[in-house]
Structure 1
Amino acid sequence: MARYFYYHVIYVGMINVMLFVPWTLIQHRFNGAVSAIVIAVVVGTVLAYVTTSLFLRFPGMGLPDIINSRLPSGIAIAFNLFGALIWFLAGMLVVYAYSSTIQQFFNPDMNSYLFLLLMTVAGMWGASRCTRSVQFAQEILMLLCAPLILMILFKAVFSSWLDWDAIRITAGYVRTPPSFISLCAATFVFAGYNTLTIYNRLLPSGTKLRYRWIIPVFCTFFLLVSFFIPIGFHGTVGAADYLYIWSITADSMIMEYGFVYRVLYVFLLLYTALSLMFAMNTWHTAMEFIKACHPKHKPQPEQYPVPAVNWWITLAFGAITMAYAYWTNSTRNQLVHQNWLILRTFSDLLTTCLLAWFTIKGFRRKKKQPPNAMDAVISDS
């Protein structure tokens, strides 16, 4: 079961390429992005180890279940709605960003809402499934996409067109104090552990997450590659001129494998599946947070047929996504995304603090419990 946890860690690390994380870091490359990356490696690793250890103390329970069982109903509902907002926005921003990328690079004359609608409907359908089905679908997509994406990333690292001097110049700003937004962006790459918010329901008692060194190794690799590779291809100054920086970077590489020549088309095809996987997971998590607000809700990780409430909630997600696309533009979307990165950082810290508080209260409650009668007989004898 532990392998599913690492699927989450790896795909969240890879999806940051499609979000504005590399763009945000590159915009701050001379005023704190490099030092923010160094700090994020430490902070992200510590948070990942601590939070996963705390989740394992509540086997079979997601974060909504833990909150509902330990907080008053009004406060619990407020926390659950806040969690739903954070997770829903994550999926919405990825779907919108990817549909905009497809329009720009495949067919600029295409109706901007058509591909967005297709992505939204696919994300809604996947998110409405039960938690176990979402987990199995994710494994299939990861096994199909991850090897090819890693191949493209390694191809970029060892490309003869990569300017290592530009990378060294940028890395020299490591002593510059980090900006807050760049620190929030850099720590997102390590946020895959937070998927235990819902998927901890599928981990039985006694589960141990071995090989957690995978988290800092893979996430640090994704963070460094997503930031430094575009700078190596486009220069220390030119890298800041592009909004869809990694699509431009992928189009700077070629393959010589039969009819496959431009890396861009393979790259976008792979990230279609990865973006749908991300939307499916985040919207499913947001849906479970909303369902947990009902006082009679009982979590069911395996549920067939799909209840009607799943369809209604995900339909609302789709409608809001389409309305957001009608309202937003590039400038507004960047502002929303950066605010979301800040909110997500505070949400991760809040989750860790809540779990630590609940764990400490549980220890104190056990200490205050009187010994049972059998223990008294044994001690007397």
Structure 2
Amino acid sequence: MNHYRLGLIGIVMLITPIVYLPRLFIESRYNGAIPAFFVSVLAGTLISIWFLNSMRTFKGLTLIEVLEQHAPAYLSWPARVVVSIAGYAGGAVVLMTMSSVTVRFINPTMDIHVLLLCFVLAGGWSALRTSQALMFGMEYWVLLCVPLLLFLWYKSASNPMFDLDAILTMTDYLTVTPAWHLILVSSFIFTGFISFYVFKEAAKWQASLHEAWIIPLAGLIIFCGFFFIPFGVHGTQAVDHYIYIWMNTADSIQMKHGLIERGVFIYLAVYMIISLLFISISWHSATMWILKSDQSGVEVSSKKRLRYQRLLVVVVGILVFVCAHYISEQQLYRFTTYWFYARFAVDVILVVMVGSAARRSKESL
């Protein structure tokens, strides 16, 4: 089992509370949110298993190498450009959202432009590191963040004021027709790692059958945590009053014994780390989609490649900073929703291309 690949899957699942996904589900809680998620579990799991099984045919190749060697050039190049744009956009969404959240919950008088600049510099610098360095850092930070998140979940659920009946009330809506737009959105939990399959470390070992059940199980746990716990803390009606529902939920946690009194500080620190990891990995992989993988035998020298990487990251950083100045919170929310739709379409296209390449490769043997 490849722990780097599982780390990438975990980063995608853990970033969902930041990118408005709980907000989207809470808004549709009476209109098929829960059935939509269970449909997405089936659809997302089948897509991810199809993808991992197809990649087994190529034995250690990255996704970029597969498309370069086995897909037509007129399809490979447009696909790489589209995936790269989606990767940069995903990192930008997380960066702007995290900046807004930090200002709102830590220091409302802080100039958000200063915080944006800090996030852009930190994310851009990390994105320029080597793939191996990113994978090593991701592994250790995920091992640190997951126990802290589980601790906050436990503190929320063990609160004497936690209302289990509010959660059980949601079972009355299990038979509602699924909200189809939520199926596309929530499928990101299970398929969002696909475009990250450009790291040689993640593709080094073939996918095992264990990952076939780890992906849906971990996704189900993450969903139950970020969707149901706020109902027990705030109630089925009050949850609709918050935009960043999990920040408010963490803010309601108090530690009687310890140096940190409010749970929101732990939660915010954890999600700063996860956000920066996601931004750096998204921008690094997006750059790799444009310039090809380090290991794919590109025709440019390493120094020239590094200059191109820096140029791309600088341009993206400037664009994100400018967009964040003009975009409103409502517009960012709407753009994130459209990004989820586009990301699902991109993932499906990639899986179909890899599946077709795997079938042709088997037929040629």
TM-score by length of 2: 0.92
More moved, 131-140 vs 62-71? 62-71
Are 2:106 and 1:109 aligned? Answer: no
Are 2:168 and 1:158 aligned? Answer: no
Q: Aligned partners of 1:307 and 1:210: how far apart in 2?
A: 37
Q: Aligned partners of 1:204 and 1:35: how far apart in 2?
A: 36
Q: Aligned partners of 2:261 and 2:305: how far apart in 1?
A: 43
Residue-by-residue CA offset, 1:190-246 (whole Å, 9 max, x unaligned): 235425521256533666464542212211010111111112222212111111111
Q: Which amino acid aligns with 1:101?
A: V
Q: Which amino acid aligns with 2:162?
A: L
Q: Aligned partners of 1:279 and 1:238: how far apart in 2?
A: 31
User: Is the 8 Å Cα contact of residues 8 and 193 (structure 1) preserved in structure 2?
Assistant: yes
Q: Aligned partners of 1:254 and 1:275: how far apart in 2?
A: 24
More moved, 152-161 vs 343-352? 152-161
User: Is the 8 Å Cα contact of residues 53 and 207 (structure 2) preserved in structure 1?
Assistant: no
User: Is the 8 Å Cα contact of residues 45 and 215 (structure 1) preserved in structure 2?
Assistant: yes
Match of 1:357 in 2: 356
Match of 2:345 in 1: 346
Residues 306, 72 of structure 1: alpha-carbon distance in 2 compared, 3 angstrom cutoff: closer
Q: Aligned partners of 1:84 and 1:178: how far apart in 2?
A: 31
Match of 1:276 in 2: 276
Match of 2:323 in 1: 324
More moved, 183-192 vs 167-176? 183-192
Q: 1:86: Cα distance to partner?
A: 1.3
Are 2:150 and 1:136 aligned? Answer: no
Match of 1:376 in 2: none
Match of 2:12 in 1: 12
Q: Aligned partners of 2:286 and 2:319: how far apart in 1?
A: 13
Q: 1:266: Cα distance to partner?
A: 0.9
Residues 206, 226 of structure 1: alpha-carbon distance in 2 compared, 3 angstrom cutoff: closer
Q: Which amino acid aligns with 1:319?
A: I
Match of 2:307 in 1: 308
Q: 1:257: Cα distance to partner?
A: 3.0
Q: How does 1:1-381 map to 2 (within 5 A)?
A: 2-194=2-194, 196-200=196-200, 203-204=203-204, 208=208, 210-292=210-292, 298=297, 307-366=306-365
Residues 59, 319 of structure 1: alpha-carbon distance in 2 compared, 3 angstrom cutoff: farther
Query: What runs of 5+ residues in structure 2 fail to find an aligned partner?
Result: none
Q: 1:17: Cα distance to partner?
A: 1.1
The SS at the match of 2:198 is helix
Residues 50, 305 of structure 1: alpha-carbon distance in 2 compared, 3 angstrom cutoff: same
Q: 1:325: Cα distance to partner?
A: 0.3
Q: 1:276: Cα distance to partner?
A: 0.4
Q: 1:365: Cα distance to partner?
A: 1.8
Q: 1:336: Cα distance to partner?
A: 0.4
TM-score by length of 1: 0.89
Q: Which amino acid aligns with 1:12?
A: V
Q: Aligned partners of 2:304 and 2:345: how far apart in 1?
A: 36
Figure out how many residues of one structure are paired with residues of the other and give that number: 363
Q: Aligned partners of 2:350 and 2:76: how far apart in 1?
A: 13
Q: Aligned partners of 1:206 and 1:348: how far apart in 2?
A: 20
User: Is the 8 Å Cα contact of residues 62 and 198 (structure 1) preserved in structure 2?
Assistant: yes
Residues 223, 70 of structure 1: alpha-carbon distance in 2 compared, 3 angstrom cutoff: same
Q: Aligned partners of 2:252 and 2:298: how far apart in 1?
A: 47
User: Is the 8 Å Cα contact of residues 52 and 196 (structure 1) preserved in structure 2?
Assistant: no
Residues 224, 202 of structure 1: alpha-carbon distance in 2 compared, 3 angstrom cutoff: closer
User: Is the 8 Å Cα contact of residues 25 and 185 (structure 1) preserved in structure 2?
Assistant: no
Identity, in percent, stands at: 25
Q: Aligned partners of 1:61 and 1:212: how far apart in 2?
A: 20
User: Is the 8 Å Cα contact of residues 138 and 277 (structure 1) preserved in structure 2?
Assistant: yes
Residues 11, 102 of structure 1: alpha-carbon distance in 2 compared, 3 angstrom cutoff: same
More moved, 273-282 vs 313-322? 313-322
Q: 1:48: Cα distance to partner?
A: 2.1
User: Is the 8 Å Cα contact of residues 62 and 199 (structure 1) preserved in structure 2?
Assistant: yes
More moved, 38-47 vs 117-126? 38-47
Q: Which amino acid aligns with 1:354?
A: M
Q: 1:351: Cα distance to partner?
A: 1.6
User: Is the 8 Å Cα contact of residues 71 and 357 (structure 2) preserved in structure 1?
Assistant: no
User: Is the 8 Å Cα contact of residues 8 and 195 (structure 1) preserved in structure 2?
Assistant: no
Q: Which amino acid aligns with 1:359?
A: A
User: Is the 8 Å Cα contact of residues 62 and 201 (structure 1) preserved in structure 2?
Assistant: no
Residues 43, 306 of structure 1: alpha-carbon distance in 2 compared, 3 angstrom cutoff: same
Residues 304, 332 of structure 1: alpha-carbon distance in 2 compared, 3 angstrom cutoff: same
Residue-by-residue CA offset, 1:76-131 (whole Å, 9 max, x unaligned): 22111100011111111111111100000111111111111111111111111121
Q: 1:30: Cα distance to partner?
A: 0.7
Q: Aligned partners of 2:303 and 2:336: how far apart in 1?
A: 35
Q: Aligned partners of 2:357 and 2:179: how far apart in 1?
A: 32
Q: Aligned partners of 1:214 and 1:205: how far apart in 2?
A: 16
The SS at the match of 1:109 is coil
Residue-by-residue CA offset, 1:304-352 (whole Å, 9 max, x unaligned): 9982222111112211211220221011111100001111111121121
The SS at the match of 1:257 is coil
